[in-house]
Amino acid sequence: MSTVTEKIDAKLVKELREKSGAPMGDCLKALQEAKGNMEEAFVILRKRGMASAQKKASRTTNEGAVGTYIHAGGKIGVLVEVNCESDFVARTPDFQELLKDIAMHIAATDPRYIRREDVTTEDLEREKEVFRAQAAETGKPAPVIEKIVEGKMSKFYEEVCLLEQPFIKEQTVSIKDLIAQKVGKLGENITVRRFARFKVGDANWTVAQTKAVAAEEQQA
């Protein structure tokens, strides 16, 4: 056993396990690599989770479950469908926890889209036009203006796209990261298919779905 391993306290491993949701063995390895630094170890696990999620992203997700969340004394309600590859995984506590967390997050933040790719061309062009006009007032050269617009668009995606938003329970983790952590732990691809958010007295209730789902409905 290496000296680094001997220095890793079991309580530290458990704390990282609770924070990341990763298996104990992976948490120990990450802490060893990070020489006991909790934050660095968490970053290592996040990167591995994203890599694992990317490898599994092409897998079909035809199973899953519908989650609900009711907030503010029944004034806000959310329905969300999250998919995975097998019914077995859909019934696990980890998947159910993710389902609940995503539904609660949607209730709190009211995203308009699921992914960047789902933002309509009209919305994109409108936002870019506004940001470009604002940047032009600074008098900076065109290349600088475009970089300003690019930065503002990243912020726009973070505000309106579910997967880009910081998770309300852990602001350093995006919803995309949260899902990736579960993919790494459960070993299956996981996707958000669609959701609906209702607020009493608000006519502008939100319904969002991926472009793939919209295309399926058109073909049906």
The 3-state secondary structure of 23-59, one letter per residue: CHHHHHHHHHHCCCCHHHHHHHHHHHHHHHHHHHCCC
Q: Distance between CA 113 and CA 156 in Å, rounded?
A: 11
Residue 5 pLDDT: 45
Q: Give the class (CATH, top level) of 63-117+161-219.
A: alpha beta
pLDDT value of residue 138: 82
- Is 178 in contact with 169 (CB distance < 8 Å)? no
CATH H superfamily, domain 3-56: Ubiquitin-associated (UBA) domain (1.10.8.10)
The C-alpha atoms of residue 154 and residue 128 are separated, in whole angstroms, by: 11
Nearest-Å Rg of the Cα atoms of the chain is 20
pLDDT at 140 over 90: no
pLDDT at 52 over 70: no
Tokens in use for 187? 């070993």
Q: How many CB atoms lie within 10 A of CB 97?
A: 12
CA–CA gap between residue 178 and residue 35 (Å, rounded): 24
What lies within 8 Å, CB to CB, of 17 at 6+ separation is 23, 24, 27
**What is residue 115's three-state secondary structure?**
coil
Q: What is the pLDDT of residue 19?
A: 73
> Token pair of 14, please?
């458990």
**pLDDT-derived band at 50, boundaries 50, 70, 90:** low
How is the chain split into domains, by residue range? 3-56, 63-117+161-219, 120-156
| pLDDT at residue 166, as a whole number | 95
